[in-house]
Amino acid sequence: MKSVKHWINGALTDGGGRTAEIFNPATGEVSGHVALASAADVDAAVAAAAAAFPAWRDASLVKRAQVLFRFRELMDAHRDELAALISAEHGKVHADALGEVARGLEVVEFACGIPHLLKGGFSEGVSSRVDSYSMRQPLGVVAGITPFNFPAMVPMWMFPVAIACGNAFVLKPSERDPSASLLMARLWQEAGLPDGVFSVVQGDKVAVDRLLEHPDVAAVSFVGSTPIARYVYETGAAHGKRVQALGGAKNHMLVLPDADLDLVADAAVSAGFGSAGERCMAISVVLAVDPVGDELVRKIVERVERLVVGPGDDPRSEMGPLVTQAHRDKVASYLDLGVEEGAKLVVDGRETAVLGGRGSGFWLGPTVLDHVPVGSRTHTEEIFGPVLSVVRVSSYEEGLRVINEGVYGNGTAIFTNDGGAARRFQHEVEVGMVGINVPIPVPMAFYSFGGWKSSLFGDTHVHGSEGVHFYTRGKVVTSRWLDPSHGGVNLGFPTNG
């Protein structure tokens, strides 16, 4: 049985002694134990990061980029191993896990361009023999607190940019699927990253609170549920930290009558049930504009009934189990609730056949609820599982109003062949990430990821140019130099050290 430890100052450590169980979601069996950090463990990681920061900050941009390039190559070479760890602890199928690693690697590739990304501005002659120029410098020790649903991708939204900018990074991954973090730590070391620049503290709320309170942590990035995102933002800000806290979502897909319904049905199934619906960019609500609802639901059901549900390590599986028994039961409770609220249960995931049998695994198959009432709990609450709700609306205007009245504003999509309607939607919808005939509009790494309203606390989104700005702070220099005739000329050829 495996034992997952902390990674502090370039080495594994057991820490304070508390542990938690790690489960295989496909079998329900305990597969190992993970150390849970004490405040002292967090202090040790932060101290190592603070000690490593000055030298890493002073490393040239080219040196940092070289380490990033080596890390990228090592991650690519170990992507199958990383995906296997994710499948074993999260439950998602291998193809989903590989896709997660690939999307995370895009951020690493973006961060490899750090010499260009940290260019400042320069204004010559702002006054007599006076020039002004700007630069961006790292913050120091920064931390990332990441969720269970993407144990590789979400950390890679954060630490490649933070480290490339010259910071030292402390990662607190989810204790439910912690092993991926240690593989990435070992690959950082192999890539030549100095010890202490990247550390991992496994843990629960004890570790989170210490990171939020620690006086040497300058900034915290977080992805998780909205209540915890609000807590992280308020607690971190109260302790003087820069915070970006990404919260929950309830993403709607608006389907206009002119849309290609086969394309829509394919998109709804993949966006609703990929990774067992455990993702903040999942489409959980389809807004079907009359009169397409009946035909669209029929097409969705046809596709759902062909989905193969099974263990993540079985290549035949298209959807795996949920991450824990408690989470599976919470998601399943919405099926009866939806019926009580007036919805029609068209596909019941509790009855889905599972490859090899259900055993004691945390299984819930793809579920479809039709005629879900607007404003019901099933419609408005983040379920975070394989439950697709279909809401009927009479017009584009009604569908837009339903989306904009929601408390979340993470992602949304419109399916239509009308360019004018699509352009109007992207302008009017109050959501941070918009797809046009694209169901999961996760931006490429050179743009930034994040929502509006209760889906984001703080002013800065992750990765892309906003990520660079989050992990750096600006400085402006105004300088005056005497004419060269007064001396001080150096004709030595500049070198990159």
Q: Which of 376, 369, 269, 281 is nearest to 319 (CA)?
A: 269
For residues 287 and 253, give the distance between their C-alpha atoms in angstroms, rounded to a whole number.
6
Query: In this structure, what token pair is assigned to residue 216?
Result: 């040497």
For residues 197 and 239, give the distance between their C-alpha atoms in angstroms, rounded to a whole number.
23
For residues 88 and 381, give the distance between their C-alpha atoms in angstroms, rounded to a whole number.
28
Query: Cis (ω within 30 of 0) for the bond into 291?
Result: yes
For residues 70 and 242, give the distance between their C-alpha atoms in angstroms, rounded to a whole number.
30
For residues 108 and 488, give the distance between their C-alpha atoms in angstroms, rounded to a whole number.
42
Query: In this structure, what token pair is assigned to residue 159?
Result: 């630490």
Cβ atoms of 203 and 210 closer than 8 Å: no
Cβ atoms of 184 and 75 closer than 8 Å: yes
For residues 311 and 125, give the distance between their C-alpha atoms in angstroms, rounded to a whole number.
66
For residues 351 and 432, give the distance between their C-alpha atoms in angstroms, rounded to a whole number.
36
Tokens 């490429």 locate to 444
Q: Find the distance separating the first CA and the last CA of the chain, reported in whole Å.
A: 47
Cβ atoms of 386 and 319 closer than 8 Å: yes
The count of other CB atoms within 10 Å of the CB of residue 320 is 29
Buried b (16+ CB within 10 A) or exposed e, 257-291: eebebeebbebbbbbbbbbbbbbbbbbbbbbbbee
What's the burial of 115, exposed, middle or buried (CB within 10 Å: 0-12/13-18/19+)?
middle
For residue 231, give the DSSP letter.
H
For residue 277, give the DSSP letter.
G
Phi, psi of 338 (to 5 degrees): -60, -40
The count of other CB atoms within 10 Å of the CB of residue 347 is 22
Cβ atoms of 469 and 460 closer than 8 Å: yes
> Is 165 a residue of the active site?
no
Among the options 253, 280, 288, 402, which is catalytic?
280
Query: In this structure, what token pair is assigned to residue 210?
Result: 């210490």
- The DSSP bridge pattern shows strands 367-370 and 344-347 to be antiparallel
C-alpha pair distances (Å), 347 with each of 278, 297, 367, 375, 486? 18, 10, 5, 21, 84
Q: Which are the catalytic amino acids?
A: 280
